[in-house]
Amino acid sequence: MRYSGFQVLWQGLTGNTGWGPAWRDPDPKPEYDILIIGGGGHGLSTAYYLAAEHGLTNVAVLEKGYLGGGNIGRNTTIVRANYGLPGNSEFYSHSLKLWEGLEDTLNYNVMHSQRGMINLFHSDGQRDAYARRGNAMINQGDDAILLDRDAVRRMLPYLDYEQTRFPIYGGLYHPRGGTARHDAVAWGYARGADRRGVDLIQNCEVTGIDIENGKVRGVQTSRGAIRAKKVGIVVAGRSSQVAAMAGMRLPIESHVLQAFVTEGLKPVIDHVVTYGMGHFYISQSDKGGLVFGGDLDFYPSYAARGNLPMAEHVLEAGMTLMPMIGKAKMLRSWGGIMDMSPDGSPIIDRTHIDGLYLNCGWCYGGFKAVPASGHCFADLMATDRPHDVAAGYRLDRFTTGKGLMDEEATGSQHNLH
């Protein structure tokens, strides 16, 4: 069914009895041309673009839980293209352009809201760094405006400008940045892939990868063996574990990242705001909840849940920046498992095993990457050539040291990116 305003009206008048399931629930076939392991944002968008752009529909997505139950449904929904380094810059720029047409492409309301993002700075040195980043964004063809303190105060009057420790000097404004409804992105890609013939197979855990003479032959799953010519690993925080099934040791550590939401409030924060002296970022959801997050837990873990030390750490930063949030009641917090790479940038590449491909290392920023990641990974899997805007995301940069993209300039330490 094609979704439209007319359908909403018609279904409303006829008791909402005409809506069908958004996708099928097929059993796995014995063999496919392509298997995608992982039904998160990146796996689903890869499947969608394989079908939509390359006409490859003998494809299945294998998801151990339910579609969208991983990080794609746990993030703070920020979408931006404000990277500074060549390699990242053109990729995220490409992604933002795909976001801007995504609702038409998918015929699905992903609630993409370009409400603007402001990165605050608190020293002369930070201002210089943001000025440089803004210039890189403009050179890439994206938008960036350096705001002084008064301009920020006019836009964000609720911040504490008088704090003596980290006074606000200004902000880098990225008007096309914003948010999107994270689950809807998974659902929109799932529906689009399903309509083109891709099998989306839930409750199907991959437990082994079959390799013969250096070539992938298929996978073992909790629902039996499935043969395939090509297999893509797109499992975010579980990347090291699944790659180990093919005998690979990845340069990835898994860390928990937490997020928090308050009770619903009247509109109060109408941008995405990030604090430059503490890792804290905030926006307000369309339901009214203040959605915010901060740092990783700093130690590797597979526990997708929150804990009190990080709640204290994040809330302290939030209270320093905007004391008004102390009046809001926190509704819940949660965690997701992040696939952290040593330079903070992702991997989209072939592996040394013929027919086995890898997409991982998204760190904090994989939600905004979903459209471009799927687009470029599908291109790589279909053509065996890297897409132009993802050509820098090679796996071997961690063995050769050539082409590292350390956006934060923190060095080779997974938990600092």
Q: Of 32 and 169, which CB lies nearer to ligand FAD in the complex structure?
A: 32
Q: Minimum distance from CB of 279 to ligand FAD (Å)?
A: 12
Q: Of 69 and 403, which CB lies nearer to ligand FAD in the complex structure?
A: 69
Q: Angle 182-195/41-54 helices, nearest 10 degrees?
A: 30
Distance CA 137, CA 118 (A): 14
With vertex at residue 147, the alpha carbon angle to CA 146 and CA 149, rounded to the nearest 5 degrees, is 145
Report the length, in residues, of the chain.
417
Q: Of 63 and 407, which CB lies nearer to ligand FAD in the complex structure?
A: 63
Q: Minimum distance from CB of 105 to ligand FAD (Å)?
A: 18
CB atoms within 10 A of CB 9: 10
DSSP string covering 86-124: TTHHHHHHHHHHHHHTHHHHHTS----B---EEEEE-SH
E strand residue ranges, 99-235: 117-121, 145-148, 170-174, 178-179, 199-201, 206-212, 215-221, 224-233
Three-state DSSP class for residue 333: strand
Q: Of 127 and 390, which CB lies nearer to ligand FAD in the complex structure?
A: 390
Contact by Cβ (8 Å): 42, 61:
no
Q: Minimum distance from CB of 120 to ligand FAD (Å)?
A: 17
Three-state DSSP class for residue 179: strand
Q: Minimum distance from CB of 374 to ligand FAD (Å)?
A: 9
Contact by Cβ (8 Å): 266, 78:
no
Q: Minimum distance from CB of 167 to ligand FAD (Å)?
A: 26
Q: Minimum distance from CB of 368 to ligand FAD (Å)?
A: 4
Q: Of 1 and 303, which CB lies nearer to ligand FAD in the complex structure?
A: 303
Q: Of 127 and 368, which CB lies nearer to ligand FAD in the complex structure?
A: 368
Give the interface with ligand FAD as residue ranges (CB under 6 A): 37-43, 62-65, 69-72, 74-78, 205-206, 234-238, 242, 257-259, 293, 336, 338, 362, 364-368
Q: Of 127 and 313, which CB lies nearer to ligand FAD in the complex structure?
A: 313
Q: Minimum distance from CB of 383 to ligand FAD (Å)?
A: 22
Q: Of 73 and 169, which CB lies nearer to ligand FAD in the complex structure?
A: 73
Distance CA 284, CA 261 (A): 9
Distance CA 336, CA 383 (A): 32
Contact by Cβ (8 Å): 363, 344:
yes
* 333 alpha carbon, distance to own chain's centre: 18
Q: Of 151 and 330, which CB lies nearer to ligand FAD in the complex structure?
A: 330
Distance CA 359, CA 347 (A): 6
For 176-194, b/e burial (b = at least 16 CB within 10 A) is: bbbbbbbbbbbbbbbbbbb
CB atoms within 10 A of CB 100: 15
Q: Of 51 and 234, which CB lies nearer to ligand FAD in the complex structure?
A: 234
Q: Which residue's entry shows tokens 């924060």?
A: 269
Q: Minimum distance from CB of 115 to ligand FAD (Å)?
A: 13
Q: Of 65 and 167, which CB lies nearer to ligand FAD in the complex structure?
A: 65
Q: Minimum distance from CB of 405 to ligand FAD (Å)?
A: 16
Distance CA 254, CA 361 (A): 9
Q: Minimum distance from CB of 212 to ligand FAD (Å)?
A: 21
Q: Minimum distance from CB of 345 to ligand FAD (Å)?
A: 12
* 6 alpha carbon, distance to own chain's centre: 32
